[in-house]
Amino acid sequence: MSEEIQFHQQSGLGVISLNRPDVLNALSLEMCLELDQKLSEWESDDSIQAVIIRGEGGKAFCAGGDVRTIVEQGFENNQMADEFFATEYKMNARIHHFKKPYIALLDGIVMGGGVGVSIHGSHRIVTEKTLFAMPESAIGLIPDVGGSYFLPRLPGSLGKYLGLTGARLKGSDVLYAGIGTAYMSSEKLEEFVATLMQEDISSDEDVDQIIARFAEDPGEAPIDEFRDLIDAAFSETTMEDILDHLSDIDHDWARETGAVLNKMSPISLKVIVEQLNRGAKLEFDDCMIMEYRIVAAISSYDSDFYEGVRAVLIDKDHNPNWVPPTLSEVSHAMVMAHFDVPKSGDLEL
C-alpha cells in the first residue's frame, strides 16, 4: 500500500487520508487505484458504516490530479493518460454510486481531481479555509471528474461560469452554490470526526443530525452580488454569445470576466460549452463516458493541454501559445472531434 493515501478504520468509520502534502495532495494513478479498491471493499463490509476523506498537511484537501506527470510523457502513444483518466473516472463513478454515507472534509484547496473525490459523495463539509475551483480551461483541458454532470446541475448558470472561467470560491460561496452541504469552523473538524466515531451513523440522516450540532452560518456569499449577471451571460449556449453578452454589460465584473475568458484556451472553451450543454441531459455514467472521450482525444495529439501544463505547472511563465489562438479559428469540426469514440474504445464502468 502506498504512503500517498492511507486508510484506517475506527469504530464504524472508514477514514481516507490523502497524504501528498508537498504537492497539495494531488492524485497519482496509484492513489486512484487504491481508493477505488478500498471503497469496493468497504461498501460490502458491514463493519463500515460510513467513510470520511480528508487531506493531510493543513493547506489542501486535494489540489487536483497529477497532470504534470502525464504531460511529461508526451502526446505520442500516451498510454499513461488513458490509464490515469480511466482509473480516476471509474473511481469517481464508484463514489457517485457508493451506498453508504461518504463525508469529505474540504478544509483547504479543492480543485480538479480533488472535486472528483468529494462532490459525488453524500456530504461535503466546507470551512473558512476552503478554496474551490475547476481551473482546467487555463491548461487546455476540461472540467472533468464528473464536471459535465454536477456543473450543469448547480443553481442557474453558476456551473457554466465556474467551468469556463475557473473562478475561485471560498467557503460561503461554495455552500451557496450547492457544492458544499454544510459549513463549520476548521477548528471543529476533529471534534466532529470524533463524534462520528462514537455514534451510530448507519444512514445519511444520522450523519445529518451530527453535522447539525457543528454547522455554522458562513455569512453572506459574495458571489450572490453578481448572480443575476452570471445567470444572464452564461445562460447563452455558445462561447461567442457568452462573450458578446458580457461585452454588452456595463459593469466591472463583466469586463474582468471577459478578460479572464480571453486568456483561456480557445478550443478548450468551445469544447467545454459543448460538454456542459450535453452533460445537462445525460445520466452520470454517460457523462463519465463522454469525458473520457474528450480527454482521450486531448491527450492523443499536440493539443493545448500540453502547452497549458507547460506554461502553468512546468515552466510557470503563464504565457501559453494556444493553437488555434482565437475562438473564430476553432471550427465546429475541431470541437466535435473531441466527442468521437477513442480508438481504444469507450470507458467501461
Catalytic residue, candidates 4, 34, 66, 136: 136
CB burial of 127-146 (b: ≥16 within 10 Å; e: otherwise) equals bbbbbbbbbbbbbbbbbbbb
Catalytic residue, candidates 55, 64, 113, 163: 113
Is 31 in contact with 116 (CB distance < 8 Å)?
Answer: no
Q: Three cell numbers at 12?
A: 464504524
Q: Three cell numbers at 89?
A: 473516472
Give me the count of residues in the chain.
349
Catalytic residue, candidates 12, 14, 65, 163: 65
Is 121 in contact with 248 (CB distance < 8 Å)?
Answer: no
Beta bridge partners of 60: 109
Give the chain's radius of gyration (CA, Å): 20
Q: Three cell numbers at 297?
A: 482525444
Write the single-letter amino acid at 55. G
Q: Three cell numbers at 74?
A: 508526451
Look up 136 and say whether it is catalytic.
Answer: yes
Whole-number Cα distances in Å, 13 to 52, 199, 316: 7, 10, 41
Is 349 in contact with 289 (CB distance < 8 Å)?
Answer: yes
Catalytic residue, candidates 88, 107, 144, 304: 144
- What is the DSSP pairing of strand 182-183 with strand 123-126? parallel
Look up 113 and say whether it is catalytic.
Answer: yes
Q: Please name which of 101, 140, 146, 91 lies closest in space to residue 124, comparing C-alpha atoms.
A: 101
Look up 144 and say whether it is catalytic.
Answer: yes
Q: Three cell numbers at 154?
A: 448547480
**What is d(CA 309, CA 74) in angstroms, rounded to the nearest whole number?**
11
CB half-sphere exposure, 13, CA atoms < 13 A: 22
The residues annotated with a catalytic role in the active site are 65, 113, 136, 144
